[in-house]
């Protein structure tokens, strides 16, 4: 089964029918034979974006769906991955990559992933394919 990385851009687009990337995100999520890898750090970004009292329940439902989906792997936080993300963050002062992006890049490398469900050009700068472009 082919695996792709899911960035917060994907989750926001997937849950918001008015998002300009919604249709593309839905099409990508319905491809059979594809599994998703994401991180607790990406999901923290999603939770932060949905922290309002009217949207908080959306994240709770999303997280439950992800945790029970057989084709989704959530990489848990670890000091080692965090340190490696910090190292990449420090090594690339020429880029506007967030720490979460750097951690995502490290995880993508660890899992030998080449494609990300995102429109974020930072992933392309790091040599990956952004599937929501």
- CA 30, 125, 82 angle in degrees (round to 5)? 80
Q: Where are the alpha helices (DSSP H) in 21-126?
A: 22-29, 40-49, 56-68, 79-91, 99-110, 121-125
Domain boundary assignment for the chain: 2-76+112-130
The predicted pLDDT at position 13 comes to 98
Residue 2: beta bridge partners?
A: 34
Percent of the chain with pLDDT over 90: 95
pLDDT tens, position by position, 22-73: 999 999 887 778 999 999 999 999 999 999 999 999 999 999 999 999 999 9
The answer on pLDDT for 95 being more than 90 is yes
The answer on pLDDT for 21 being more than 80 is yes
Q: What is the mean pLDDT of the chain?
A: 96
């Amino acid at each position: 089964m082919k695996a792709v990385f899911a960035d917060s851009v994907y989750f926001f687009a997937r849950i918001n029918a008015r998002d300009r990337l919604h249709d593309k995100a839905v099409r990508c999520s319905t491809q059979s034979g594809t599994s998703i890898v994401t991180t607790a750090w990406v999901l923290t970004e999603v939770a932060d974006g949905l922290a309002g009292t009217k949207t908080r329940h959306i994240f709770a439902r999303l997280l439950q769906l992800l945790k029970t989906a057989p084709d989704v792997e959530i990489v848990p936080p670890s000091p080692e991955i965090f340190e490696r993300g910090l190292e990449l963050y420090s090594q690339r002062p020429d880029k506007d990559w967030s720490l979460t992006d750097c951690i995502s890049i490290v995880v993508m490398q660890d899992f030998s992933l080449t494609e990300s469900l995102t429109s974020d050009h930072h992933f392309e700068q790091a040599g990956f394919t952004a599937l929501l472009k």
